């Protein structure tokens, strides 16, 4: 049952067995996202998922980590997720963690007892795209959720023992809202206290509204220099107690990895050195990643 479109997974899931239990994203309206454009959302029936699990697990019976694709698998009901987790454990005796993409509203739709029960059944990390902590940017980009909702979702999920891996998109507000993006994203992250935090640079993908807004001049894309300034402003505002920080996706200008709060000053020093290096493009976005 191969995917008929590129299969997306977080960079940290490179070593996991990827099982495509759904196709596409049930929301699929974010103006910057080209991941599932043109892909009709399909929530595969549980008997079809069971056949997929049986076939894939037979090939890799020693699997310890599974990532369930595609977008927002957490939107499935508690009962369906519980059945999938139970079936996976039956087929994979060494399985230690099952991870998924999760929108805030899908987490909030589940009572605390269900979140705890999913954790007990092996659900481990929820990858949530905050994208921005700025409500105006989330509204403009049709994220379909507020920062307030996502903060509450992250807090509730982590209180239930799940790990939150939260993603922020640098440059999402363009030049017009870079200050608000930095300030409000740091505030939202401080309230969430995610265990994992990733920064990606937003890349305008042809066919998305974000791209056409830039082409039309209604959105001023950040220069390479301004993206680093924005990241520096967010890092300066972070007050995190125990978070793994990553900005090492191929969209990033330089790969960075750190543990917060321990490495905060080193991170700020590295970003300052980059800003002072004279190597960053101050008039344009800099080189486009190889994968585009």
**Identity of the residue, 141 or 243, whose beta carbon is nearer to ligand SF4 in the bound complex:** 141
What whole-number distance in Å separates Cα of residue 246 and Cα of residue 82? Answer: 30
Residue of 102, 221, 236 lying closest to 167 (CA atoms)? 102
37 CB-contact burial (10 Å; exposed 0-12 / middle 13-18 / buried 19+): middle
Residue of 153, 179, 168 lying closest to 243 (CA atoms)? 168
Distance of closest approach, residue 138 Cβ to ligand SF4, in angstroms: 11
**Identity of the residue, 29 or 262, whose beta carbon is nearer to ligand SF4 in the bound complex:** 29
Distance of closest approach, residue 25 Cβ to ligand SF4, in angstroms: 3
**Identity of the residue, 167 or 267, whose beta carbon is nearer to ligand SF4 in the bound complex:** 167
**Identity of the residue, 36 or 67, whose beta carbon is nearer to ligand SF4 in the bound complex:** 36
Phi and psi for 243 in degrees, rounded to 5?
A: -135, 135
Using CB under 6 A as the criterion, which residues of the chain lie in contact with ligand SF4 when the complex forms? 25, 27-30, 33, 35-36, 71, 103, 129
Distance of closest approach, residue 155 Cβ to ligand SF4, in angstroms: 20
Helices (H), the chain: 46-59, 78-91, 104-108, 112-120, 135-140, 147-159, 178-192, 209-216, 224-237, 264-276
What whole-number distance in Å separates Cα of residue 234 and Cα of residue 213? Answer: 25
**Identity of the residue, 172 or 271, whose beta carbon is nearer to ligand SF4 in the bound complex:** 172
Question: Are 261 and 241 spatial neighbours (Cβ–Cβ below 8 Å)?
Answer: yes
Residue of 66, 94, 61 lying closest to 81 (CA atoms)? 66
Distance of closest approach, residue 206 Cβ to ligand SF4, in angstroms: 16
**Identity of the residue, 25 or 197, whose beta carbon is nearer to ligand SF4 in the bound complex:** 25
Sign, CA dihedral 224-229-234-238, equals positive
């Amino acid at each position: 049952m191969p995917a008929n479109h590129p299969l997306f997974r977080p960079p940290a899931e490179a070593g996991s067995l990827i099982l495509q239990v759904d196709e596409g994203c049930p929301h699929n309206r974010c103006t910057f996202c080209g991941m599932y454009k043109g892909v009709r959302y399909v929530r595969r029936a549980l008997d079809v998922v069971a056949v997929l699990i049986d076939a894939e697990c037979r090939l890799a019976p020693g699997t310890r980590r599974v990532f369930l694709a595609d977008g927002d698998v957490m939107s499935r009901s508690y009962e369906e997720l519980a059945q999938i987790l139970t079936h996976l454990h039956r087929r994979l005796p060494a399985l230690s963690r099952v991870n998924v993409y999760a929108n805030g509203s899908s987490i909030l739709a589940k009572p605390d007892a269900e979140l705890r029960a999913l954790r007990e059944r092996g659900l481990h990390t929820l990858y949530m795209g905050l994208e921005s902590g700025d409500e105006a940017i989330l509204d403009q980009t049709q994220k379909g959720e507020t920062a307030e909702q996502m903060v509450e979702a992250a807090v509730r999920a982590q209180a239930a023992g799940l790990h939150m891996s939260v993603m922020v998109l640098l440059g999402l507000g363009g030049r017009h809202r870079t200050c608000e993006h930095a300030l409000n994203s740091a505030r939202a992250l401080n309230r969430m206290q995610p265990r994992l935090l990733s920064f990606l640079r937003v890349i305008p993908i042809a066919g998305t509204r974000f791209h056409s807004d830039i082409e039309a001049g209604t959105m001023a894309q950040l220069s390479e220099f301004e993206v680093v300034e924005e990241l520096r402003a967010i890092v300066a505002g972070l007050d995190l107690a125990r978070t793994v920080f990553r900005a090492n996706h191929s969209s990033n200008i330089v790969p960075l990895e750190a543990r917060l709060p321990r490495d905060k000053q080193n991170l700020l020093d590295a970003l300052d050195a980059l800003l002072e290096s004279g190597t960053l493009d101050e008039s344009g976005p800099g080189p486009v990643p190889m994968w585009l």
